[in-house]
Chains A and B, each alone.
Chain A
């Protein structure tokens, strides 16, 4: 947790350059800004720990079918409710399925939920923010009104309302969690665009006759990328928790899918006799989200310390 005060602020607000030198100096300045940020990130122990945890998780998810000792779905009644032992490191559930195996396959689902829902939020939120901030006027007012309405539904409730309409299911949960996080991106991107618009290079691009779309994607977007990266990283963890919460409530992955939240629901009624069924999936969620948050905090300190998310 390094201090914002002694890091270099970079939110796309570079000093105004002379007109002729704009192109080259922006190019070289951008490269050093990103490499500086990367160097700062590498010095951050927490962020590196988070990155390592994440890498491990991705490996486990990719290699689940190779690494996992058992089948995640097949029931083995004679092995039911075993406490952790040399054959089943994390024990077995009520159907005799190996918890470790199910956790490994569950990593695939959780990572997918995190990545897909955040992609959905970025696709919608970033575009809304770009358009609202760049064009202003009525478009801006309408977009921000819409965002206000979305923000009227607190926390996970917006996602719940969307699931209520779309119906339960893992993919609908991803859509719901993704759409529910749109306001954060739209607001931050809009703010960043408003400040980037003040820069001489945007006027210069307009003067030389660039189309609006080109200015938006070639000149504005790269300069608001830093906050987007930071929010996206920090939000993957939140999306994983929300997705697991919805599955926990019975609205996402359905049994026998080895989803972490759904596994907790299955173990809930057996807490008195089998603590391990509810302990390990929750621990898996927490470690995953903790890794994402460590990396996200580090990215924020390295890229955009003023950002409050």
Chain B
């Protein structure tokens, strides 16, 4: 097991290095002179551009710039925001807890709803309950999250006035964005849990358990759910990524301070160090998250042999 974790960690390294190279090159992929990005609103003169190139080290060879970028990133220095002139890392650290809080709440929501819908669907296979829950998840998959967020605001904040519609901090401000994100993730989770449960229900060992005269509840809890949970784990890992992506939209709609909103604002205001820093950070978080899921997968499924 320990060897497997080590191997996976080693395999993640080239991916992360490639990510850092791509993020670094983003600056040069932009049409035009990279130095002009840092000029901001000032009138662009050749002298100014030369000055910026000198200050930012843009006239050094690319590999020197890259190793400098990597070295600083490893030390938590992602440059300064072009808007606020403050370190990008400070802004990220301020926003990160809010995004994590939102992602975790949405994840819990998605698991609770998705798993119960999937289990009910599989157990009541081909009944109206199954049809209803699968139709609901199909609608959920087809629902754009920005619209769902607006509808939740319209119903629960504007009309019913149950929850505040914007801002962060406190449970009541978390409910609506977490519900929007969670509902979107619950739909694919329900579909996957259902299909993996249906697969497990056909296994020989379930028949054996029935033949032994075990109670239905015991069979479901001990034999079916445990095994159906394993493939579902992978999807939840993927869903975590979708949650991070969805946070971009929910945080914007609900005006929550978070990584997603920083990202959108960074792109719209051409705050390039901010965009680069966030891209890098989110990719690293996501790669680590997938690594964790894979390790858990191996841990929970003794059938998986790893060399």
Q: A153 to B276: give the CA distance in the assembly, Å.
A: 12
Instruction: State which residues 260-307 of B face A: CB under 8 Å.
Output: 263-264, 266-268, 272, 275, 279, 282-283, 286-287
Instruction: State which residues 160-202 of B face A: CB under 8 Å.
Output: 195, 198, 202
Instruction: State which residues 159-198 of A face B: CB under 8 Å.
Output: 160-161, 163-165, 167-168
Report if A207 contacts B (CB, 8 A). Answer: no
With A145-B15, A153-B286, A249-B248: A271-B144 Cβ-Cβ less than 8 Å: no
Q: A148 to B151: give the CA distance in the assembly, Å.
A: 36
Report if A16 contacts B (CB, 8 A). Answer: no
Q: A266 to B86: give the CA distance in the assembly, Å.
A: 32
Q: CB-nearest residue of chain B relative to A265?
A: B146
Is chain B's interface secondary structure helix, strand, loop, or mixed overall? helix
Q: CB-nearest residue of chain B relative to A249?
A: B264
Instruction: State which residues 104-158 of A face B: CB under 8 Å.
Output: 145-146, 148-149, 152-157
Would you give 16 A-B contacts (Cβ < 8 Å), ordered by A?
A5-B202, A145-B18, A146-B18, A148-B18, A153-B283, A154-B240, A154-B242, A154-B244, A157-B248, A160-B248, A168-B267, A250-B264, A251-B267, A264-B146, A278-B147, A283-B147
| New contact pairs (11) apart from A165-B26, A168-B267, CB-CB < 8 Å | A4-B195, A145-B18, A155-B244, A160-B263, A160-B264, A164-B26, A164-B272, A245-B249, A271-B158, A275-B154, A279-B151
> Across the interface, do A294 and B283 meet the contact criterion of CB distance under 8 Å?
no
Report if B118 contacts A (CB, 8 A). Answer: no
Report if B258 contacts A (CB, 8 A). Answer: no
With A272-B158, A294-B138: A278-B150 Cβ-Cβ less than 8 Å: yes
Is chain A's interface secondary structure helix, strand, loop, or mixed overall? helix
> Across the interface, do A157 and B150 meet the contact criterion of CB distance under 8 Å?
no
Flag the segment in A78-86, A216-224, A284-292 that touches B. A284-292
> Across the interface, do A245 and B15 meet the contact criterion of CB distance under 8 Å?
no
Q: A279 to B148: give the CA distance in the assembly, Å.
A: 10
Q: A241 to B242: give the CA distance in the assembly, Å.
A: 13
> Across the interface, do A164 and B275 meet the contact criterion of CB distance under 8 Å?
yes
A-B contact count (CB 8 A): 134
With A157-B245, A249-B264: A149-B143 Cβ-Cβ less than 8 Å: no
With A1-B134, A271-B153, A272-B158: A245-B267 Cβ-Cβ less than 8 Å: no
Chain B hits for A249, CB < 8 A: 248-249, 252, 264, 268
> Across the interface, do B144 and A149 meet the contact criterion of CB distance under 8 Å?
no
Chain A hits for B147, CB < 8 A: 264, 278, 281-283, 285-286
Q: CB-nearest residue of chain B relative to A148?
A: B15
Binding site for B on A (CB under 8 A): 1, 3-5, 145-146, 148-149, 152-157, 160-161, 163-165, 167-168, 237, 241, 244-245, 248-251, 261, 264, 268, 271-272, 275, 278-279, 281-283, 285-286, 289-290, 292-294, 297
Q: Nearest Cβ distance between residue A278 and chain B, in whole angstroms?
A: 5
> Across the interface, do A241 and B144 meet the contact criterion of CB distance under 8 Å?
yes
Contact of B29 among A5, A163, A165, A297 (CB under 8 A): A165
With A155-B242, A250-B268: A245-B146 Cβ-Cβ less than 8 Å: yes
Q: Which of B153, B241, B246, B267 has the largest number of chain A CB atoms within 10 A?
A: B267
Q: Nearest Cβ distance between residue A117 and chain B, in whole angstroms?
A: 15
Q: A241 to B148: give the CA distance in the assembly, Å.
A: 12
Chain A hits for B19, CB < 8 A: 149, 152
With A149-B18, A282-B150: A293-B145 Cβ-Cβ less than 8 Å: no
Q: Nearest Cβ distance between residue B133 and chain A, in whole angstroms?
A: 11
Q: CB-nearest residue of chain B relative to A247?
A: B146
Q: Nearest Cβ distance between residue B283 and chain A, in whole angstroms?
A: 4
Chain B hits for A250, CB < 8 A: 264, 268
With A148-B15, A271-B153, A293-B138: A161-B26 Cβ-Cβ less than 8 Å: yes
Contact with A along B113-144 (1 / 0, CB 8 A): 00000000000000000010010001101111
